[in-house]
Amino acid sequence: MKIITLFLYIIAYLYIIFEPHISSVTTFLFGITSVLVTSQFNFSNLSTIIDFNTIFILIGMMIIISVLKERGVFTEISKIIIKLSNGNMLRAVFLINISIFFLSGFLDNVTTILIFIPILFYIADTMQVDSKPLLINAVLFSNLGGMTTAIGDPPNIIIYSVSHQSFVSFLLHLMPIGILVLVSQLLLLKRSLRANSVNLVFETNDVTEDFKNKRWKQYFLFFLVIACLMIFHEKLGIELGIITMLGGMLILFFENRDVQSIVLDIDWDTLVLIMGLYFLNFSLEQLRLFEPIVTILSRISNPPVLILIVLWSAIFLSGFFSSLPVTLLYLSVIQKLVSMGRPTSLYWALVLGVGIGGNLTPVASMCNIVGNNLLKNLKNEKLSFIEFTKNMLKPVIISGIISSVVLYIFSLVYN
């Protein structure tokens, strides 16, 4: 039984790595099969396998963002940023990267990339600087920003839902690290831009031309209200999934739209993949296949060492196997370790590990793939796998080191 399940698991992973375009369906099928093989399948325990909270948050956010995007809220925001920069290139690039970082905390990373990369390319064209470092930084900040809140990224949503840490505690633990990395990275970027270009002023007129769309402010306000509700959801006593789903439905209600019209913008692929992974993990757990890993890790009595192991292994594994599967795999182990009395900082190590590792290779996260595609489509340039990884290695290692130090300080403080 164990062998069959493990075999199914390995095949599912091979599909994820080599056939990513159908991996959602294959993972789902292998997941169901593994559950059927390992246990008498019973639908009353489906909700223990699949986490409704995660699914609800994902669907709700996708609906809200899709309406906001359609209403031009994000284009307006980017116009304001350009205006604020006053034609100073350094300021513009900084502002854009900072907004990518903070918006990614609440939006999905691909969306932020799609909003801002065209602007960055425009600036690079007019200033005649290389657009590749700008792209790499944008992708980096989008991934890192997504890492800093409970809902910024699918892996975070999953970890949030399982770990029972509050939204605020996510912010408190992850935001400082994110900001440290942001600052250090921006300083590096500043130096390289200074070195490469002479002229630092560009024309902003043709970007900020039409300022017609007035209603976007209402939608933005709605978004802010939902974000506030999310932050204070524990005080209100409402689950996050219900808030986001309700938000999504309410925005459709105000728009007088039906669900079917928004369906195209929901990322079913990701949802199906997550459900499949839930199934696979459930059957691995049923067969106690995690047990050996848990026993080995539980022998490590020094918490900081354990935390660092989780952090760095997650960074490199998620760099190559994409972050979602790695997250679910680690989560089952960490849940057990925490229930055995290990520190909850392990959850933060996992969040940071998969968040940072998601930058490592061009295929590590959706946002990297989309960024590379934009480079190819808009600029007709290409970043090879090795080139991308080489450029990312430095920021990844820097962020890893910063996270290690901060996590170490956290563990000292708790002790």
249 binds other proteins (CB under 8 A): yes
Stretch that binds other proteins, among 17-25, 108-116, 295-303, 357-365 (CB under 8 A): 17-25
Residues 251, 214: Cα–Cα separation, whole Å: 17
CB of 131: closest distance to other proteins in angstroms?
A: 29
Neighbouring residues of 273: CB distance < 8 A, sequence distance ≥ 6? 23, 24, 27, 28, 324
> Torsions phi, psi of 29, nearest 5?
-65, -45
Residues 117, 123: Cα–Cα separation, whole Å: 10
In whole angstroms, how far apart are CA 11 and each of 6, 22, 29, 68, 152?
Answer: 9, 13, 11, 39, 30
Of 1, 17, 22, 409, the one binding other proteins (CB under 8 A) is 22
Based on CB atoms, which residue is closest to other proteins, 186 or 331? Answer: 331
Of 260, 301, 377, 415, the one binding other proteins (CB under 8 A) is 260
46 binds other proteins (CB under 8 A): yes
CB of 2: closest distance to other proteins in angstroms?
A: 21
Question: Which one-letter DSSP state was computed for residue 88?
Answer: B
264 binds other proteins (CB under 8 A): yes
Q: Rule CB under 8 A: which of 48-87 touch other proteins?
A: 52-53
Based on CB atoms, which residue is closest to other proteins, 179 or 229? Answer: 229
- Cα radius of gyration rounded to whole Å, the chain: 22
Neighbouring residues of 171: CB distance < 8 A, sequence distance ≥ 6? 148, 149, 150, 231
Based on CB atoms, which residue is closest to other proteins, 62 or 181? Answer: 62
Q: Which residues pair with 88 in a beta bridge?
A: 201
Of 90, 188, 227, 272, the one binding other proteins (CB under 8 A) is 272
- Residues binding other proteins: what is the number (CB under 8 A)? 39
CB of 259: closest distance to other proteins in angstroms?
A: 5
CB of 247: closest distance to other proteins in angstroms?
A: 9
Neighbour tally for 68: CB within 10 Å: 20
Of 12, 16, 24, 149, the one binding other proteins (CB under 8 A) is 24
CB of 248: closest distance to other proteins in angstroms?
A: 9
Based on CB atoms, which residue is closest to other proteins, 146 or 241? Answer: 241
243 binds other proteins (CB under 8 A): yes
Question: In this structure, what token pair is assigned to residue 20?
Answer: 């990513």
Neighbour tally for 168: CB within 10 Å: 14
In whole angstroms, how far apart are CA 347 and each of 53, 66, 213, 272?
Answer: 18, 30, 42, 24
Q: Please report, as ranges, the residues that interact with other proteins according to CB under 8 A.
A: 21-22, 24-26, 28-29, 32, 36, 40-41, 43, 46-47, 52-53, 237-239, 241-243, 245-246, 249-250, 252-253, 256-260, 263-264, 266, 268-269, 272
